[in-house]
Structure 1
């Protein structure tokens, strides 16, 4: 479900921190939209 609001800076920063951490070592070769579900609402 779409969040119906823009992301806050700390929410985007949390995604960036995750992608820079070892926890994301298996994430590769994908587009990862940080859009609060907006892209999924178009399907």
Structure 2
């Protein structure tokens, strides 16, 4: 149970970080790279 909560918290934190990076990316190419990274990362 505790591990599941930690896992959800970590996933949420990562998703927010990816979203911030995507919004701060100066070019569409960088956004595309961030999208690829987000799609390829292993789910926790």
Using structure 1 for the length normalisation, give the TM-score. Answer: 0.38
- Bigger share in helix: 2
Greater relative contact order: 1 or 2 (C-alpha under 8 angstroms, separation 6 or more)? Answer: 1
Of the two, which has the highest radius of gyration? 2
Using structure 2 for the length normalisation, give the TM-score. Answer: 0.38
